[in-house]
Amino acid sequence: MLLCRVVEYHVDGFRFDLASVLCRGTDGAPLNAPPLIKAIAKDAILSRCKIIAEPWDCGGLYLVGSFPNWDRWAEWNGKFRDDVRKFIKGDCGMKGSFATRVAGSADLYKVNKRKPYHSVNFVIAHDGFMLYDLVSYNFKHNDANGEGGNDGCNDNFSWNCGFEGETNDSSIKALRSRQMKNFHLALMISQGTPMMLMGDEYAHTRYGNNNSYGHDTALNHFQWGLLEARRSNHFRFFQKVIKFRRTRRVFSRETFLSKNDVTWHEDNWNNHDSNFLAFTLHDSSGEDIYLAFNAHAFFVKVSVPPPPAKRRWFRVVDTNLESPDDFVIEGVPGTGKTYNVAPYSSILLEAKT
């Protein structure tokens, strides 16, 4: 069946839902070398396709980072999702984990001949909260599903920014906007393969329903009108950041980061209360990228490192600013030796001549 899809229909890849179930024997016990997984990886045709595993199943076989792969299978990186969600919303003690995830999750995938792109990074998937709901709801709201609210995951690592659900409070709405931009920026600057969910580019909501697959309604229908209404702000930011990633090679390295590729501007990784992280991604031609993420509820005045020789820092992203100033492709000059990073916001500076 898989071969037919590739040969006859020119499908270029497959994502296997709950793929860990294919790593069990007839008695349900985990297998070290599951034959079907190996056969797909070794097949002359299928091995050239994109092969992606959702590396867990309903029975609790969680194989993120250890899915049998023969250096071919990529994985949905569930730890990226959880760690990035926790850090951006301000959970303490997550700075080191956040750094590991945006750097490509070498702790999980730097094994044998695996590459950073074997980590499929995501914050949102088809199951669970939409991005807007991730920053608008602390709890799932699944009553419409007819299961008494018992369906859907309870561990969403979400934060409603001060009010559960829809609100007219301008400060909460602004905070939610910043947080969605922070999540998107973190995803797009991370080493690995980024995945986002259709609808997040215009802030689609399911009103807190995190298991809405059974609804043939506006909960799941693409809202073209909302896309048009938000084309000049929310959508613009998402679009521009995606394009920026695609045109900057520092975000998609073929190998895991070495000490020459990144400088972490951090001297106290063990500070449990620190929710701020800054680092520089180095480019061989001097087009370095400086990033800072502030998940504190207060401003952080950070010292900006000197740019490479004969270059200056230009501000490309500041998620605290309104559109179109939140993303300026040509960059805004004049960045000094310090930058006051706003609460729950992030910045990106680019070294240019």
**Active-site residue list:** 17, 54
SS3 string, 296-341, reads: CCCCEEEECCCCCCCCEEEEEEECCCCCCCCEEEEEECCCCCEEEE
Enclosing H/E stretch for 263: strand 262-264
* The token pair that represents 173 in the structure block: 């709405």
Q: Residue 37 is which amino acid?
A: I
d(Cα 8, Cα 250) in Å, to the nearest integer? 37
Q: Is 125 exposed, middle or buried (0-12, 13-18, 19+ CB in 10 A)?
A: middle
Q: Which residues of 319-341 are buried (b: 16+ CB within 10 A; e: fewer)?
A: bbbebeebbeeebeeebeeebeb
Name residue, tokens 């590991």: 100
HSE of 190, CA atoms in CB hemisphere, 13 A: 35
